[in-house]
Amino acid sequence: MSEFVLQLPGADPALRRPSVAVAVVMRREHIDNRWQPWRWSLADIVPHEENFGAQPRLLLKDEQEERWLHPGFKVELFTDDAEGYYLNVTTPQPCFWVVWRMEEEAALADEPVAVPQTVTLSYHDAGRWLDAQETVEQVAAPRDVVEWVQAFVDAHYVLEAKRRQRPQSFKTLQDRFGNPARVSTDKKFGGGGGHG
């Protein structure tokens, strides 16, 4: 079981929303490609610890990979996005999503580093960022986090009852221009009466 500190508003009056503090681990790995010898990806989400500090730092570097720790992300749960959390916890593998971007100019190291921008547990947030052409990756959420989100969903999400649809036979027919169309069973054209 992970050691994520899952905050509830009742536990601390200063907290307005349930939240969890996390740190993001990004990985730069060597790949066999002459045009792009390195690739960045999300490696993990870990519980934030005070001793991580506030600045990104290099955890590991060798010929095959680098790992960078980016501390201090707060993942909050919002009641108006309860459906987004519901869609996450009802998938086969609930997860954290991370939006990350490459530095425009190298600031953390000799070369630009992948820097996480935000972390969420909302399916809707992840979808909006993907629609905006952002780089979004996911990592499985541990069971205690999933149970925490499920409890939030249970308290705040009301599954909308499906409205009964009007049978297709009662819908008005329209032509291709959207005007009302009439259907007649009277035969207007052709002989074919079989009289001879």
Q: pLDDT tens for residues 41-92?
A: 999 999 999 999 999 999 999 989 999 999 999 999 999 999 999 999 999 9
Give pTM, 2 decimals.
0.76
Nearest one of 35, 36, 30 to 63, comparing CA atoms: 30
Look at residue 190 and tell me whether its pLDDT is greater than 90.
Answer: no
Q: What is the pLDDT of residues 111-127, one digit of tens each?
A: 899 999 999 999 999 99
Average pLDDT, rounded, for the chain: 85
The secondary structure of the chain as a DSSP string is -----EE-GGG-TT--S-EEEEEEEEEEEE-S-SS--EEEEEEEEEE--GGG-SS-EEEEE-SSEEEEEEEEEEEE--GGGHHHHHHHHTSSS-EEEEEEEE-SS-SSSSS--EEEEEEE--HHHHHHHHHTT-EEEEEEPPHHHHHHHHHHHHHH--PPPPPPPPPGGGSPPB-TTS-B-----S--S-------
* Alpha-carbon gap, residue 50 to 178, rounded angstroms: 63
- CB-CB contact of 153 with 159 (8 Å): no
Average pLDDT over residues 88-100: 96
Band (pLDDT 50/70/90 cuts) for residue 1 is very low
Q: What is the pLDDT of residues 132-153, one digit of tens each?
A: 999 999 999 999 999 999 999 9
